[in-house]
Amino acid sequence: MARGKLQTYRQKRNFARTGEPAGGSSGGPGNRFVVHQHHATANHYDLRLELDGVLKSWAVPKGPSLDPADKRLAVETEDHPLEYIDFEGVIPEGEYGGGPMIVWDTGVWAPMEDAEESLRKGAFKFRLFGEKLKGGWMLARMKPRPGEEDRNWILFKERDPFADTTVDILASRPESARSGRRIEELVAKPKNPAPRPARLAPGRIEGAVAGPAPERIPPQLASPTPAPPDGDGWLHEIKFDGYRTAAHIAGGAVRLVTRGGLDWTKRYADLPAALAKLPCREAILDGEIVATDDKGIPRLSALQDALSTGAAGKLTFYAFDLLHLDGWDLRNVPLIQRKALLSQFLAGSVTANSAIQVSDHVEGDGRALYERASEMGLEGIVSKRADAPYQSDRSKTWLKAKALQADDFVIAGYTVSQAAEGLASLALAEWVDGELQYRGKVGTGFDTATLEALLARLEPLRSGAEPLDGAPRDIIWVRPVLSARIHYGARTTDNLLRHSVFKGLREVELTSAASAPACKRLISDADLATIWVTNPTRRLFGRSGPTKLDIAVYYAAMGDFMLPHLLGRPVSLFRCPTGRPQDCFFQRHPFTGMPPTIASFDTKNSEGETKGYISVEDVKGYLALAQFGVVEFHSWGTLRKNLDRPDRVVFDLDPGEGIAWREVVEAAVHVRGALQGLGLEPFVKTSGGKGIHVVVPTTRKLGWKQFHQAASEISAGIAATAPTVFTTVMGKENRRKRIFIDFHRNARGATAVAPYSLRGRAHMPVSTPLSWSDLESIDAPEDLNYSSVPGLLETTGDPWADINDFARELPPPLQVKR
């Protein structure tokens, strides 16, 4: 019986070279277990349980934890022979799993239920009694994504006397349970690396270090500089406008990892197959994935279009660094030598039309390349010290110079030309601490048609506009709702722009939602006639902020889109009755004078106290709230009539310090894939701030406690797939350069900002539902604001109009599968 089970194990190994056992014992009803620490392509742990004549095996990348809150990914691998339970040593380089291995823990185990049936069902509980691991444990199978094998499990400790939330058992007990040695003591620099062609000898280069390829290398980032550095000793490369990507190649398999650490291999069509053909056992290349526009210029918009339309076969991977090759870490090798080795490595694989290209460079003075990049409309250039090692994170040995400085500025007004009888220039401003500050005029970069179109859009915005300090008197002021992309040479000491050129409006174009179901009209003209607010010209959030009437008009215009996601749900209201930010507050409970059609109801809060809450039940109540200074709507994930059966789960992706918007978008796409692997259908919206909300409609099968716990375990499972990107632990110190998956919005009484709600900031951003393809077209979420969103939805419709049709059953706790 065991012979057939070991077929895969034996096919992967050459027993003439490796000291691993071939296996011959048929065994008996044994109950031994072993946990190996194994340093192959990356350090990991292997859990093996003696069952039915073999060792059932799971690879646990982060190793077991005594803390029941830690959910560790465990990938089921091939069965191993019983003799493997005592194996400790070094698997030769070039062999499957090459690298050192120790018996980290060993002992006996026992199933809590029928083992075969539990494994079949994917909920396997067992007890261990080893030198380090004791007590109850569980393996829960995760549902595979379409096309994936059913191999991923979650391993975690059960809550019993052997659980421990304070001790990291991997760090406190690193030694072998068999020999007492640490795994580092088995590692030796290979005396005879596997032969390669003579022209490629990475081990001969000074600075190369023998060792397995890391699971991930954080990228080196360039520091901004106004111009390329002078002098010798620099290499200058074109700065590409694409997705920074590390290509990990190992044994013919390829992983394409984003700057933020996410595996996006499946998104890039044929690129992985092209990289898999490179002549190596393992390698790590640093580069950029790009797509070009019709002029052959790499553009991020072209890349986003290719990915959203499925035309990913037009992508190119530009390699500009070689960090690891066949057992040799090259990060300490000087850049000039790494690039020479990279060119040799790719020499036989790169043609004029191949999907893999080498990013070339010029040495010495980079001004000519910089000027050429400016003429071609490229992003700019990156200058790198030729003698420098590779340094993860931002450094001064890599410098980036934009071809021209480019930023987005608010259009605060315009001037007219009496001679031309039309627009002459735009007055520019930017937000500083919630107030607009004047930044000068731009009067070049327009053609006649653009001037006419701009004037037509700006004239209706004159009403209610406020002048800015320090600006000329000839400016006609407009409400600050449009932004322009401006190229400029520098700023003066007064922070005014010099040599500015208009490059276009920063437009938001949403196209994918055009096929969404038509929005049913909920607000009639008679309803609109009932809107009444006192102090309509009172400004909120500063002198440049919107008026109370602006907010009332926005909610009136958005009611048909917003109300289907709001009516009948308990809400909390963010009110700003005086217009001063310090006087704003949350209104969770019924209040004096509230509109009669705002419903109130009593229920117990998390402390067991009976409290009154409110919900919006009809159009009149919704519109009447404008008079009460309501700026934001925050809703529960349930209907008032089904209060204890939630129907929407929210995964709030909250970026920590150092996370750019594009990285949050990458993370949201990754979360979408994980949720779809669970059989769920996620929807997406901006939070109105720096984050993104991934929202899943669910059937009303679970109560709040199970609902919250299931959201917690799903979040933990997602975080485990990219622990350097995500965290589920609260606290600012845990979020630095990571994205917090906030699942606590799914507890009873918790709220999340409602779809299409405004956010209480000077430029009034909107928490805007989007289609997934449109999400990647958004460069700045603040562009989705109280002025732009109503116009966008008139043409595209509500991308969430049919969200309830996609309600699926949320996997209950301990049965989460991905």
Could you give the angle at which helices 788-796 and 548-562 cross, rounded to 10 degrees?
Answer: 20
DSSP class of residue 748 equals: T
Q: Which residue has the tokens 């290398």?
A: 217
C-alpha distances in Å from residue 51, one per residue of 5, 102, 111, 115, 228: 12, 21, 10, 9, 64
Joined together, the tokens standing for residue 597 give 């059609």
Helix, strand, coil % (nearest 5) of the chain?
Answer: 25, 30, 45
Q: Which residue has the tokens 């980079």?
A: 366
Residue 651 CB: number of other CB atoms within 10 A?
Answer: 26
DSSP secondary structure letters along 105-127: EEEEEEESS-HHHHHHHTEEEEE
CA distance 377 to 297: 8
Kindly tell me the burial class for residue 537, based on how many C-beta atoms sit within 10 Å of its own C-beta (0-12, 13-18, 19 or more).
exposed
Cα 527 from chain centroid?
A: 41
Pairing of β 234-238 and β 253-258: unpaired
CA distance 467 to 75: 62
Residue 294 CB: number of other CB atoms within 10 A?
Answer: 7
Is residue 566 a contact partner of residue 632, using CB atoms and an 8 Å limit?
no
SS3 at position 82: helix
Q: Which residues contact 53 (CB under 8 A, 6 or more apart)?
A: 1, 2, 5, 26, 27, 28, 82
Angular region, 423: left φ>0, alpha ψ -120 to 50, beta rest = beta
Joined together, the tokens standing for residue 315 give 């992508």
Report phi then psi at 79, rounded to 5. Answer: -65, 145
CA distance 674 to 682: 10
Q: Which residue has the tokens 């304070």?
A: 166
Give catalytic residue positions: 239
Alpha helices in 230-279 (DSSP H): 271-276
Nearest partner of 366 among 271, 246, 237, 480, judged by Cα:
237
Buried b (16+ CB within 10 A) or exposed e, 179-216: eeeebeebeeebeebeebeeebbbbebeebebebbbeb
C-alpha distances in Å from residue 211, one per residue of 43, 103, 558: 11, 20, 59
SS3 at position 786: coil
CA distance 34 to 55: 9
Task: Give the CA radius of gyration of the chain.
Answer: 30
User: Residues 15, 17, 18, CA angle at the centre, nearest 5°?
Assistant: 65
SS3 at position 396: strand
Q: CB pairs under 8 A, 24+ apart, for 229-234?
A: 229/366, 229/383, 229/399, 230/365, 231/365, 232/363, 232/364, 233/385, 233/386, 233/387, 234/363, 234/364, 234/366, 234/383, 234/384, 234/385, 234/386
Nearest partner of 598 among 612, 581, 580, judged by Cα:
612
